[in-house]
Amino acid sequence: MKYTPKRDIPDFARELRTVSPSRIADRILAKRNVERKPQSVTMWFKDHPDIHSQLSRELAENLPTEKQTVDQRIFERHNFEELPSVKKWIQDLTLRNAKEATIRGWMNQLKRVCKGEVQDGVLIRDWSLRHPDRLTLQDAKDFLFEVKKKNLRMREWALMLRNFLTSGREIIVMSTDISGRLEDDAGQYADLFASKEKIYEIFDYLNDRNHIAYLISKFSYKTASRLTASLEARWAFVNHEERTITVFEKSIKGKAKRKCTKLLPEDLYVELMELEPKEGKIFKGLETQELNKLLREAYRNVIPEIAERIPKPFHFWRHMFAQQMLRKTKWNYGLVASLGHWSLEALRRYYGLPPKEELRKFGLATLPRI
């Protein structure tokens, strides 16, 4: 096996139960057939003071080795919450009156960091499992670097990691180490995104349990209609020739209800036409509380990585309409705003500017044609 200081020096220190540079240098020669002077090990520790500090603490407190500690079972929900650093972190967040949804969401993010999962099902190459009780500032930086490399939003990850390291691990984190500053091109809901494949997995989950819950969710996703407008959608306002429906958005601050005409795509129209009877409300026999409960279950099962960050279960579909349409139209804000009945200012504020990599791809593909 090739000698890798970042992996081997901590591993050998734990095996030997010492941070002695001379003994670690001997182990490097014996195990990796690479000669390293004790001074080089000393310099490595100076360059990685947080790791040296953590190793010294582990050995002093006689904590278990990395191999013994990082067991997949720790990531099971109740096991994870009982780990010392995580338990302390939860207590601190609770005492600071953090919302329960925020705590759960950050817990899920921390699990993903420990597993090296930067996106749903996308793991960092050669990332070994990290135990939260051993998570270092360098680990956090390495993870954020991978997030940045993939042109993903970093702020939410950075805020969580700064908070956990400071509270749960009691590590001093300077703003120069990990910044929680909002990216210049970020939007309020830019990170609230699910792929089309995941969206249709949610639809399947809903359809297996409640056909009307599935249909009204698909209706909202395809038309960007809000909850009240969807629940109140009526057959009388369907224009079969033009394949449109007029819905009425909830009044705000005493204003009259807003009338919005929505396009009905072919697949949605066909499914709606299978409903009977075609009179009164389209979506009958479904209470808001029941719908929201079912949606929460679906999100926790299909998209657990963002489930706790969804503020309003049904409004998620309007977010997904915007996210998917912006990508399909190459970030044509005017077109998406018109179809979904947003203002341009609101659309940009909520979902931000296009990712830099998307701008680059579009520019490279389009500029030669002008």
Radius of gyration of the chain (CA): 26
Contact 340, 321 (CB under 8 A): yes
CA distance 233 to 317: 16
pLDDT tens string, the chain, 370 residues long: the values are 888 898 899 888 888 888 888 889 999 998 888 888 888 998 888 888 888 887 777 665 554 444 445 778 888 868 899 999 999 999 999 998 887 878 888 888 999 999 998 877 778 888 888 899 888 889 999 999 988 887 777 888 888 998 999 888 888 787 777 876 555 556 778 878 999 999 999 999 999 999 999 999 999 999 999 999 999 999 999 999 999 999 998 766 666 678 999 999 999 999 999 999 999 999 999 999 999 999 999 999 999 878 878 889 999 999 999 999 999 998 899 999 999 999 988 898 888 888 777 778 888 888 888 8
CA distance 350 to 187: 5
pLDDT attached to residue 61: 56
CB burial string 90-99: b at 16+ within 10 A, e below: beebeeeeee
In the prediction, which pLDDT does 354 show?
Answer: 80
Q: Provide the pLDDT for residue 252.
A: 63
DSSP 8-state class, residue 290: H
Taking Cα atoms as reference points, which of 355, 363, 356, 353 lies closest to residue 333?
A: 353
Tokens of 204: 């399947």
Give the number of other Cβ atoms within 10 Å of residue 45's Cβ: 20
Phi-psi region of 142 (alpha: psi -120 to 50; beta: other; left: phi over 0): alpha
> In this predicted structure, what is the pLDDT of residue 128?
82
Residue 37: which residues within 8 A CB-CB, separation 6 or more?
A: 25
pLDDT for the residue numbered 203: 97
* Pick from 355, 327, 323, 354: nearest CA to 340: 323
pLDDT at 88: 92
> What pLDDT is attached to residue 67?
44
- Provide long-range contacts, Cβ within 8 A and 24+ apart, for 233-236: 233/281, 233/282, 233/283, 234/280, 234/281, 234/282, 235/278, 235/279, 235/280, 235/281, 235/282
For the entire predicted model, the pTM comes to: 0.56
What pLDDT was estimated at residue 194? 92
Distances (CA, A) of 96 to 132, 167, 199, 308: 21, 11, 34, 19
Rounded Cα–Cα distance for residues 133 and 87 (Å): 10
